Amino acid sequence: MNHLPLIIKREYLTKVKNKSFIVMTFLSPLIMIALIAVVVYLSQLNNDKQRTISVLDETGHLEGVFQNTENTTYTNLNDLDLEAAKALVKEREDYGLLHIAKVDSLEDISDNIKFYSEESPSLSIMSSLERKIEEQLKELKLRKDGVSIAMIESSETDIDIVQENFDGEKSSKEGNIIKLIFGGIAGYLLFMFIIIYGNMIMRSVIEEKTSRIIEVIISSVKPVQLMLGKIIGTSLAGITQFVIWVILGGVLMIVVSLILGINLSELQTPQQEMINQAMQSEGGQAFAQKVFIGLGNLPIVNLIIAFLFFFIGGYLLYSSLYAAIGAAVDNETDTQQFMLPILMPLILAVYVGVFTVIEDPHGTVSTVFSFIPLTSPVVMLMRIPFGVPLWQQGLSLLLLIGTFMFAVWFAAKIYRVGILMYGKKPTYKELFKWLKY
C-alpha cells in the first residue's frame, strides 16, 4: 500500500501548524529587517556627522585640493604658525589639523605631512586625505617633468580580450564573474537550507521514538515510506517557510525604507564597492552592457533546470543523511556531534567551486567533484555556466538521486534495526545481516 502522500501530508501539516514554526516564519523577517535598518541607520548617523578639518599648508602646493563636501569643511590656517594653529584647532574642537611642513623640493613633501587630532582619526578620512594629496603631488611631479594630463589620458588603454569558443559563443571577464556569483549563490542557498532545515528533519525522524508511537507506525507502514515521507514533507514545510521569508522580507524591506526614508541600497558592502569602482573606471553603460551580454551568454534554460534539479537533489541527499542520524539515535541530545561531519563535504564543495572550477572548469578535479554526489550539487552548478555536456549533467544527477535513494533506504534500515535492539551493540556482521530484512 502506498501511504507516501498521506505521510507527506501529515508531516507537512504538523510542521506548518506548529506554533513555534509559525512564529518564526513571521518573526524572522521582521527581526532581520529591523537589524538591517538599525545598522543602516547607525552608519548613516555616523556619516551625517559634520566635521571641520583645518589645513596648514606651508608649501602652497596643495591649494585648491581640499574642496568642502557635504559633511566635511576644510578651513585654511595658512597665516598661522603650527603652534598657534594647533591651539586654535583644539579650542574650536575641530576634527583635526593637517600640517604640510615647508620643504625645499616636491619629493620631500610626502615625508613631512602630519595630522594632529584629539582622537585618532577614522580610517576612511585618512585614506581620503592621502588620496587627495597623492593625486595632486603626482600631477605636480608630472608637470614638473613636462608631461601634461592630456597626454596621460590619451595614453591610457583599456584591454578587454573577447573570449570566444569554436562554436562562436562569446564570453568575457564579467561573464566569468557572473558565473562565479551564480554558482556561489546556488552553493550558499543550499548551505543555508541544509543548516536551517536539516535539523528539522532529524527531529522529525526522532519524533516517533520520543512519543513511543514507533511500533504502531512501523506495523502499518514500511520504514522506507516513512523516511521518504518525512524528508519530503519536512522539506516542503521548509520551502514554504523560505518562500514566505523571501516575500515577506522583500515587502518589509520596501515598507521600512519608505517609512524611515532610508535608502537600503546605500548599505555599502565590499562587493558593491568593487562594482561601483568597476563602473566608474569603465563608465556605467559599458559595464552594464557587458553584464547584460554576460548574462545573455549564460545557458539560461539549462541553468534554471539544472539549478532546480541539483538544488532539490542535493537538498534531499543531505536531508536523508540527517534522517539517517535521526534514525540511529534515541534522543536529540545525541545528535549535535554529527552536524560538522555532514557539513564538511559541502564546505569542501564550495572551496572546490571557488578555487578550482573558476580556474579550470573542465579540469580533472572539477569534473570529478561534479560527479561525487555530496559535492556535485554545488560544483556542477558552478561548472554549468561554463558549458557542460548534457550527458555529464544527466549522469551526475542520476548519481545524486541514486545516492539519495540509497541513503533513504539505509536510514530506514537503521530505523527498523534500532527498535529491535535490546540495548546491546550489534557487531558489523550482524548489522549487515539485519540490513537484509
Partner 1 sequence: MNDLLVADSVSKNFGNFKALNQVSIAVPKGSIFGLLGPNGAGKTTLIRIINQITMPDEGNVLLDGQPLKPEHIKDIGYLPEERGLYKSMKVGEQCLYLAQLKGLGKAEAKSRLKYWFEKLEIGDWWNKKIQELSKGQAQKIQFIVTVLHQPKLLIFDEPFSGFDPINANLIKDEILQLRDEGATVIFSTHRMESVEELCDHIALIHKSNKVLDGKLNDIKRQYKTNTFEVGLQSNNSDAVLTEIKNKFEVLPATFRNLNDDIKLNIKINENTSSNDLLTFLTSKAEVHHFVEVIPSANDIFIQTVKNN
Residue with cell 595630522: 115
Identify residues 8-67 at the interface with partner 1 (CB under 8 A).
10, 14, 18
Query: Which range of residues in 3-11, 47-55, 88-96, 383-391 is near partner 1 by CB under 8 A?
Result: 3-11
Nearer to partner 1, 161 or 420 (CB): 420
Sign of CA dihedral 415, 419, 425, 428: negative
Task: Output the smallest distance, CB 408 to partner 1, in A.
Answer: 18
Stretch that binds partner 1, among 6-14, 177-185, 191-199, 383-391 (CB under 8 A): 6-14
d(CA 437, CA 435): 5
Closer CB to partner 1, residue 364 or residue 424? 424
Q: Which is nearer to partner 1, 308 or 419 (CB)?
A: 419
At closest approach, how far in Å is the CB of 229 from partner 1?
A: 11
104: helix, strand or coil: coil
Phi, psi dihedrals of residue 51, rounded to the nearest 5°: -140, 150
Whose Cβ is closer to partner 1: residue 310's or residue 410's? Answer: 410
Query: How many CB atoms lie under 10 A from the CB of residue 345?
Result: 18
Q: Which of 306, 326, 319, 304 is nearest to 374 (CA)?
A: 319
Instruction: Indicate the angle between helix axes 300-328 and 390-420, nearest 10 degrees.
Output: 10
Evaluated on CA atoms 280, 293, 250, 310, the torsion sign reads negative
Smallest gap from residue 16 Cβ to partner 1 (A): 12
Residue ranges in 208-247 that form contacts with partner 1 under rule CB under 8 A: 211-222
Quick one: 100 or 417, whose CB is closer to partner 1?
417
Tell me, residue by residue from 109 to 128, as one string, x for binding to partner 1 by CB under 8 A and - for no binding.
--------------------
Q: Shortest gap between Cβ of 10 and partner 1 (angstroms)? A: 5
112 vs 210, beta carbon nearer partner 1 = 210
Nearer Cβ to partner 1 (226/317): 226
Q: How far is the CB of 20 from partner 1 (least distance, A)?
A: 11
Q: How far apart are CA 349 and CA 383, in angstroms?
A: 12
Expressed in percent and rounded to 5, the helix, strand and coil fractions of the chain are 70, 5, 25
CA distance 324 to 318: 10
Closest CB to partner 1 among residues 217, 252: 217
List alpha helices for 337-389, DSSP H.
339-351, 364-369, 376-383
Q: What are residue 207's phi and psi, to 5 degrees?
A: -50, -45
Cβ atoms < 10 Å from Cβ of 105: 7
Nearer to partner 1, 30 or 421 (CB): 421
Question: Of 69, 154, 259, 422, which one interacts with partner 1 (CB under 8 A)?
Answer: 422
Q: Which of 407, 403, 401 is nearest to 325 (CA)?
A: 407
Rounded to the nearest angstrom, the gap between the alpha carbon of residue 250 and the centroid of all alpha carbons in its chain is 17
Closest to partner 1 by CB, 283 vs 426, is 426
Taking CB under 8 A as the rule, which mask of x and - marks residues 397-416 in contact with partner 1?
A: -------------------x
- Stretch of 22-30, 63-71, 373-381, 421-429 contacting partner 1, by CB under 8 A: 421-429
403: its cell numbers: 545516492
Q: Give the residues across from 115 on adjacent strands.
A: 98
The footprint of partner 1 on this chain (CB under 8 A) covers a number of residues equal to: 30
Q: How far is the CB of 437 from partner 1 (least distance, A)?
A: 5
- Give the gyration radius of the chain's Cα atoms: 31
Shortest distance, position 4 Cβ to partner 1, whole Å: 11
* Residue 435 engages partner 1 in binding (rule: CB under 8 A): no
Chain center to CA of 131: 30
Where do contacts with partner 1 occur on this chain (CB under 8 A)? 1, 3, 6-7, 10, 14, 18, 207, 211-222, 416, 419-422, 424, 426-427, 430, 437
